[in-house]
Chains A and B, each alone.
Chain A
Amino acid sequence: MYTFSNRLKIGSFIAMAVGFICLATGFLSAPSTVEEAKAIVASAHDDHHGGGHTEEASHGDDNAHVAEAAHGEEHDASHDEHLLHQLKNRPWAALYVAAFFFFMISLGVLAFYAIQRAAQAGWSPMLFRVMEGITAYLVPGGIIVFVILVLSVMHVNHMFVWMDADVVAHDKLLQGKAGYLNPTFFLVRAAIFLGGWIFYRQLSRKLSLAQDESDDNSNFVKNFRWSAGFLVFYLISESMMSWDWIMSLDPHWFSTLFGWYVFASMFVSGITVIAIITIYLKSKGYLENVNDSHIHDLAKFMFAISIFWTYLWFSQFMLIWYANIPEEVTYYVARFQDYKLPFFGMLAMNFIFPLLVLMNSDYKRVNWFVIMAGIVVLFGHYLDVFNMVMPATVGDQWHIGIPEIGGILFFGGLFVFWVFNTLTKAPLQPKRNPFIEESRQFHY
């Protein structure tokens, strides 16, 4: 049995507390009036460029003149309104990105777990309890994401434009999509998806624990069937979830392989977290039957799915770049202009780094190497979610500052606490899995 180390527990509480304070700061410092929003932007400008630059001043004047001459007062007012919305969205978006990121890790692990069960993999049963521990976060993580979505529907924030009835009234495109993108149906779908995922997770965990105590394999067979069924449900629901929760932040834009793209991101982050937690538990002496070959297999998955993610990223990007159809390409124009560093930085972290680091077979067996690569991959995929959510919600007012870091700390702490707390609930090695002996002796 695993005992939750005190240092880790205290660490996770501290992360949660610090994260909570940072998030609260983010919410409190968000502007509530147009004047405050302007002041924030002005002071940010001063900070970046050191104030009294003459060229800066003349630039500002130029812009103001052009705007005034062309559109008059009205445009200025709507611009300020827009800015206010973006700045108000920032703490919400930071909260949402972090909440979704950690939720998607446990969902990715759940998919990996179901695949291992449905494929009757012989190497992985030794890691089932670790995976079950990680998927336990699905319950609190999913509920938090759901609550954020409910708050969006209740107009507490402005992350999803299509939820604003005024906007839809003046927007033909959104009216056309209203049959799918309407608040009630949106929440019903979210509830069905989350309900299905959590149901499978709890059932599979129950069957997995029951298998340890039983004297035949009936629980194992049931679990196999449920897993196969779950994968069908998952592929459909995950795809729709990505349209709902992420793509609908840019409701004028659409992409057909978006669901797969989000899937690849959650899958690779999930596998990475399995590897990191397995290595951690093994280093503490809890998983003595897990050997380097198990780590090697996980690292191969990290490597391959990183490339799969890149393949999907590039396929989505290149098709849109090549055809350059205005209604699609705005998505990337916004990211190229305002998100250069996170956008291309993420590509380096999610593709080039794992490609070069994890290509060598020997390195995949070196535990600290896998941990280092895993941390980079996780940050890369945080940035991936950041790049998907932020341009639509805060636009060019993005910054990785207190609310964003607070979000990572809070949900990271909650994730660690919940996962490791669940790991203490059952023995870390399944007893009666038909493949457990094969997994114990697994070597590559």
Chain B
Amino acid sequence: MASKVIQALYNDDDVLMHAVKKVRAEHHHIEEVYTPFPVHGLDKAMGLEDTRIAITSFMYGCLGLTVAIVMMNYIMIEDWPQDIGGKPSFSYLENMPAFVPIMFEMTVFFAAHLMVITFYLRSRMWPFKKAENPDVRTTDDHFLMEVGVGDNEKELTALLWETGAVEINVTEKES
């Protein structure tokens, strides 16, 4: 379904922040904001929910720790408990200090990599993905706010001009 959106361009992040607050105060729905760099506090101003990626990372870390423990317990203690240089391979606990470096690294490895992959999946990023960029200038020095339009196009345009936009376009957007 094609929907009509209004795209307002700004050339300063402070102006953008004020515009976002104002548009939200007037109860218009901001579809998306494109910026060339992270703007501090933009997510709060837009009312976006907090990310839960740290929680997933913690769980992946627990998974990595479990994998390391199960793996080394099987290999070093259960499957073939050899005497290697007098290390006590009678139980996992007795030989644990020797396993800690691996347990640590596996925890970090799982936590880091799976979290990054989660991030890619969740934000739909992969090689050969078609860039979703409404205006090339937003990667350089312009900020773009996209607001959904119903039948209030005139009113919204006036409001956006008022917030200090430098350019306003109304386009059809495939979704």
Contact = CB atoms under 8 A, between A and B. Distances in A.
A318 B98 CA distance: 7
B97 A321 contact: yes
Interface string A351-365: 000000001010000
Contacts of B100: 314, 318
B92 interface: no
B54 interface: yes
A361 B97 CA distance: 30
B86 interface: yes
B34 interface: no
Judged by DSSP, the binding face of B is helix
Contacts of B98: 318, 322
B89 to A, nearest CB: 14
A322 B98 CA distance: 7
A317 B100 CA distance: 12
B121 to A, nearest CB: 23
Contacts of A361: 54
A286 to B, nearest CB: 30
Task: Please classify the interface of chain A as helix (H, G, I), strand (E, B), loop, or mixed, using the class held by over half of its residues.
Answer: helix
A404 to B, nearest CB: 29
A317 B101 CA distance: 13
Nearest to A324: B86
Contacts of B86: 324
A96 B154 CA distance: 80
Interface string B39-76: 00000000000000010001000000000000000000
B43 to A, nearest CB: 15
Interface residues of A, number: 8
A318 B97 contact: yes
A321 B97 CA distance: 8
Nearest to B101: A318
Nearest to B58: A359
A322 B100 CA distance: 12
Interface size class of B (residues with CB under 8 A): under 10
A361 B52 CA distance: 12
Contacts of B54: 361
A322 B101 CA distance: 12
Nearest to A317: B97
A113 B62 CA distance: 36
A322 B86 CA distance: 10
B58 A322 contact: no
Interface in A343-377: 359, 361
B92 to A, nearest CB: 15
B54 to A, nearest CB: 7
A324 B100 CA distance: 17
Contacts of A322: 97-98
B10 to A, nearest CB: 25
Interface string A304-336: 000000000010011001101000000000000
Contacts of A324: 86
A322 B99 CA distance: 11
A209 to B, nearest CB: 35
Nearest to A314: B100
A344 to B, nearest CB: 11
B77 to A, nearest CB: 17
Nearest to B87: A322
A359 B54 CA distance: 10
A231 B100 CA distance: 33
A231 B82 CA distance: 49
B40 to A, nearest CB: 11
A98 B86 CA distance: 40
B107 to A, nearest CB: 11
Nearest to A319: B97
Contacts of B97: 314, 317-318, 321-322
B61 to A, nearest CB: 10
Contacts of A359: 58
B108 to A, nearest CB: 12
Contacts of A314: 97, 100
A29 to B, nearest CB: 39
A359 B98 CA distance: 26
Nearest to A361: B54
B118 to A, nearest CB: 18
A314 B98 CA distance: 11
Interface in B79-124: 86, 97-98, 100
12 contacts: A314-B97, A314-B100, A317-B97, A318-B97, A318-B98, A318-B100, A321-B97, A322-B97, A322-B98, A324-B86, A359-B58, A361-B54
Given A317-B97, A318-B98, 10 more contacts: A314-B97, A314-B100, A318-B97, A318-B100, A321-B97, A322-B97, A322-B98, A324-B86, A359-B58, A361-B54
Interface of B: 54, 58, 86, 97-98, 100
Which 7 A/B pairs are nearest by Cβ-Cβ distance? A318-B97, A321-B97, A322-B98, A314-B100, A318-B100, A322-B97, A317-B97
